[in-house]
Amino acid sequence: MTGFFREAEAFEALTTIVFPSIVKGRSPGDAIRVWVAGCSTGEEAYSIAICLMEFLSSSRHDQPVQIFATDVSDAAIETARAGTYSENITPDVSPERLRRFFSKVDRGYQISKQVRDICIFARQDLTRDPPFSRLDLISCRNVLIYLGPVLQKRVIPIFHYALKPTGFLLLGKSEAVGSFSDMFAALDRKHRIYAKKATPSLLRTDFVPIDLATAGGAAALPATATARDDLEVQREADRIVLAKYAPAGVLVNENLDIVHFRGRTGAYLEPGSGQPSLNLMRMARQGLSLELRTAIQKARRKGEPVRKEGIQLDSSGRNRIVSIEVIPLKVRTGGGRYHIVNFEEAASAPERKAAVIRPAKLRAPDREIERLKKELEATKEYLQSIIEEQNATNEELKSANEEILSSNEELSSTNEELETAKEELQATNEELTTVNEELQNRNLELSQLNNDLNNVLASANIPIVFLGPDLRVRRCTPMAEKALNLIPSDIGRRITDIKPNIHVPDLEKMVLDVIETVSLRERQVQDSEA
Ligand SMILES: C[S@@+](CC[C@H](N)C(=O)[O-])C[C@H]1O[C@@H](n2cnc3c(N)ncnc32)[C@H](O)[C@@H]1O
């Protein structure tokens, strides 16, 4: 359940605390951006729009306002877009507001164009779709309670990300930011108004695109071979029966191009002159096209079969009275709109005989007047249907435009996120380059030291062996090679595995002692030649 100015005190708090802060020091063209998340049928978004407009005009500010209102329910968004509400809203909306921001319509009130124009409605799932960005205010009231703790934890950081550094968050009476007090500071605890804190936004970016698994998916599954055979047989049977008993007719697509002929349609259709065409309107015989067009428009609009009788048709020099029936085809997989158009001779049905006979009894001028009257009537009907279709198309275009605006916002939000990620990557890259340079310098220094050490060792006339803590030989001087009987491949071997030219029975213990105590040990020893 939602309503206009639900929990009215919260709206007063917006006007006294939040809006003055939003407009403070703002440049004139800088639009105020609001997101009403989980807007249901639009009352909350329109209430905020009204409060904001009242505030701006009373405080003599002239800021543009954009209110993005989203909900996961398509039906709710449709209602919100229409902006028409029943008379039950009068207890919640003051007479002054009703006069200023609504217009009276049949059994209700419609939100005025000035309010409607600043509200953009779109379907959006808070938990799955990318958010808007650079917002001054997010109102998400009585939605978190539906989401449960896990999704709430996902949504609050999204709000933090979507707000400007000076942005505000408004929640419902029984909702709170919970454990995210590092992201939001309570500004008005009673009315659940929070101010964004300047902590880095940790936005999760695993938003998923629109779910493509549709109901048609099941229908698209391949049928088994037996089922396919049964279907073929059934279709063939239908085809034979239809060819024998069904009225002549055609199947037309969205553009009124004939995609299938059934029965003998020659009495009603003929190829037109000029370029070959299968368009029904170009093929219809004289006197039939206007009626056909009107009937198809009507069937399209209403989504139900439309029948027209007593149409006078001039075919092969013969005056005939025919009936047409247009049946919309319900195609499950959304491949466009198809219609079946059936033609019938009026004489075939007894109750239609009168229609054939009556015109015949009339005098020729009267018959002509009768025909012209009918034609005029059909033209009027056709024009009316075109006007209605045009209105519907306009509405659709308006909705599509709003969807595009909303998608645009989402894209620019994602783009900003990517920009930030790119900047972060560039910074990390910069850091890596610096560390790399540092390492290269160290490498250079090390290799110089190594060279120096090698030179010292090569020229030293003393036998020296360097051992690691594991008693493996690391390096040795040429004199040591001679004295200890070492060869280059001994580098890396344990000293105790090598049989030296000198006799030191407790060499291992001695070396371990030195390593442990880090002190010198000296011993006089004899080589094998004494
Ligand atoms: C009780 S209504 C609140 C309406 C309005 N905010 C108010 O307080 O008057 C909750 C709305 O949240 C919407 N909602 C629930 N889960 C949502 C989601 N994941 N994303 C967007 N809207 C959601 C529902 O469709 C419903 O319209």
Per-residue pLDDT reduced to its tens digit, 276-294: 888 998 899 877 888 898 8
- Report the separation in Å between the CA atom of 325 and the middle of ligand 1, taken as the mean of its atom positions: 45
Distance CA 135, CA 167 (A): 6
3-state percent helix, strand, coil for the chain, nearest multiple of 5: 50, 20, 30
Which letter, b or e, does each residue of 197-213 get, where b requires 16 or more Cβ atoms within 10 Å of its Cβ? Answer: eeeebebeeebeeeeee
Distance CA 236, CA 471 (A): 92
- Report the separation in Å between the CA atom of 164 and the middle of ligand 1, taken as the mean of its atom positions: 23
- Report the separation in Å between the CA atom of 9 and the middle of ligand 1, taken as the mean of its atom positions: 20
- Report the separation in Å between the CA atom of 126 and the middle of ligand 1, taken as the mean of its atom positions: 9
Distance linking the first and last C-alpha atoms of the chain: 107
> Got the DSSP string for 363-418?
-HHHHHHHHHHHHHHHHHHHHHHHHHHHHHHHHHHHHHHHHHHHHHHHHHHHHHHH
List the chain domain ranges. Answer: 8-196, 223-353, 362-455, 465-517
Query: Which CATH code, of 1.20.120.1810, 3.30.70.20, 3.20.20.140, 3.40.50.150, is assigned to 8-196?
Result: 3.40.50.150
CATH class of 223-353: alpha beta
* Whether the Cβ atoms of residue 473 and residue 493 lie closer than 8 Å to each other: yes
Mean pLDDT of the chain, nearest integer: 84
* Whether the Cβ atoms of residue 50 and residue 17 lie closer than 8 Å to each other: no
- Which pair of tokens denotes residue 38? 């989980």
For atom 14 of ligand 1, which residue has the closest CA?
38
- Report the separation in Å between the CA atom of 114 and the middle of ligand 1, taken as the mean of its atom positions: 25
Distance CA 306, CA 326 (A): 5
- Which atom number of ligand 1 is nearest to the Cα of residue 73? 25
Looking at residue 259, its pLDDT comes to 87
Polymer length in residues for the chain = 530
* Whether the Cβ atoms of residue 253 and residue 268 lie closer than 8 Å to each other: no
> How confident is residue 243, by pLDDT bands cut at 50, 70 and 90?
low
- Which own/partner pairs from 300-308 qualify as long-range (CB within 8 Å, at least 24 positions apart)? 300/328, 300/337, 300/339, 300/389, 301/385, 301/388, 301/389, 301/392, 303/328, 304/328
The fraction of the chain above a pLDDT of 70, given in percent, is: 86
Separation of CA 429 from chain center: 32
Distance CA 171, CA 159 (A): 11
For the stretch 175-184, pLDDT in tens is: 999 888 889 9
For atom 3 of ligand 1, which residue has the closest CA?
142
Question: Is the CA virtual torsion 275, 278, 280, 284 positive or negative?
Answer: positive
- Report the separation in Å between the CA atom of 105 and the middle of ligand 1, taken as the mean of its atom positions: 27
For the stretch 46-82, pLDDT in tens is: 999 999 999 999 999 989 999 999 999 999 999 999 9
> How confident is residue 230, by pLDDT bands cut at 50, 70 and 90?
low
Distance CA 40, CA 50 (A): 17
- Report the separation in Å between the CA atom of 144 and the middle of ligand 1, taken as the mean of its atom positions: 8
For atom 17 of ligand 1, which residue has the closest CA?
72
Q: Judge residue 305's burial from the number of C-beta atoms within 10 Å of its C-beta, 0-12 exposed, 13-18 middle, 19 or more buried.
A: middle
Q: Which of 11, 146, 207, 410 to mutate to test the pocket of ligand 1 (most atoms within 8 A of CB)?
A: 146
DSSP secondary structure letter of residue 15: I
Sheet holding 248-252, edge to edge: 258-262, 248-252, 338-345, 318-329, 306-315
Q: How far is CA 307 from CA 299, 302, 303, in A?
A: 9, 13, 13
Angle at 477 between CA 475 and CA 482, to 5 degrees: 115
| Residue 239, C-beta contacts closer than 8 angstroms, at least 6 positions apart | none
- Which atom number of ligand 1 is nearest to the Cα of residue 76? 27
Looking at residue 217, its pLDDT comes to 33
Q: Which of 4, 40, 123, 150 to mutate to test the pocket of ligand 1 (most atoms within 8 A of CB)?
A: 40
Distance CA 446, CA 421 (A): 37
Distance CA 467, CA 361 (A): 129
| Pick from 136-150, 261-275, 360-374: least confident | 360-374
CA atoms within 13 A on the CB side of 168: 24
- Report the separation in Å between the CA atom of 37 and the middle of ligand 1, taken as the mean of its atom positions: 7
Say yes or no to pLDDT of 332 above 90: no
Say yes or no to pLDDT of 220 above 80: no
> How confident is residue 101, by pLDDT bands cut at 50, 70 and 90?
very high
Residue with tokens 């213990």: 509
Looking at residue 206, its pLDDT comes to 56
- Report the separation in Å between the CA atom of 298 and the middle of ligand 1, taken as the mean of its atom positions: 37
Q: Which of 55, 62, 52, 57 is nearest to 26 (CA)?
A: 62
Residues whose beta carbon lies within 6 Å of some atom of ligand 1? 2, 6, 38-40, 44, 71-73, 76, 125-127, 141-143, 146, 172
Q: Which of 14, 72, 158 to mutate to test the pocket of ligand 1 (most atoms within 8 A of CB)?
A: 72
